[in-house]
Amino acid sequence: MSPSKTRQQFVPSRPRAEVITAVAVGVAIVAGTALLIWLIRPGKVGVPGGGGLLSRQSRMTILLVLTAAALGGVLFRVRRGRHRLKRLGERGTIIVGFAVVIVLAILGGIFWPGGVVRHWPKQPKIANTPATNPISVPSSTPANTGPSTTAKTGTTVKPATSSSTPPTTKGR
């Protein structure tokens, strides 16, 4: 029988808070990259107002990004710093700060020079052309056997040929 091993206390190499912070930052980087790719995706060439939100409504997107950054700044200053209103405490100061930022964002959207939202003209719908049946279309162009004639206007007119062969299908 082998001797019993003594139990040793497990000592993690990193503190739990540090691991959680690293995972959260990694997830935020991936999510932010995916969001930017979605916002900046290109539209159809020559068609205004297509693509991602940054392509279609650039002013509104900039306003929303600035508002989110300001909200993050308020949250960071109140949580990390000592910029709190004494009567309201931390939670009340965050609520008041968020309200001020949102009111300023709304006023910025109202008084943005030239308007914050662009209205694109409606694009015409392109009808899909029906697909042609490959059996009914001749596989080769008929050979021109007749001579070319010249009309009075000086253009060359080629006569139509009457001998065209129908397409053949193999395997039937």
Q: Sorting pLDDT into bands at 50, 70 and 90, what band is 31?
A: very high
User: Nearest 5 degrees, angle CA 31-CA 35-CA 94?
Assistant: 75
**In 41-143, which ranges are continuous DSSP H helix?**
53-56, 58-80, 89-110
Residue 82 has pLDDT above 80, yes or no: no
For residue 23, what pLDDT is reported?
A: 96
CA contacts within 13 A on the Cβ side of 93: 18
Average pLDDT, the chain: 77
Q: What is the pLDDT of residues 132-172, one digit of tens each?
A: 655 655 556 555 655 555 555 555 555 555 555 655 666 55
Q: What is the pLDDT of residues 88-108, one digit of tens each?
A: 888 888 999 999 999 999 999
Q: What is the mean pLDDT of residues 77-82?
A: 82
pTM over 0.75: no
d(Cα 19, Cα 127) in Å, to the nearest integer? 55
Helix (H), strand (E) counts: the chain: 4, 2
SS3 for 165?
A: coil
Closest residue by Cα to residue 167 from 133, 139, 142, 141? 139
User: Nearest 5 degrees, angle CA 28-CA 39-CA 32?
Assistant: 5
| Residue for token pair 């306003």 | 63
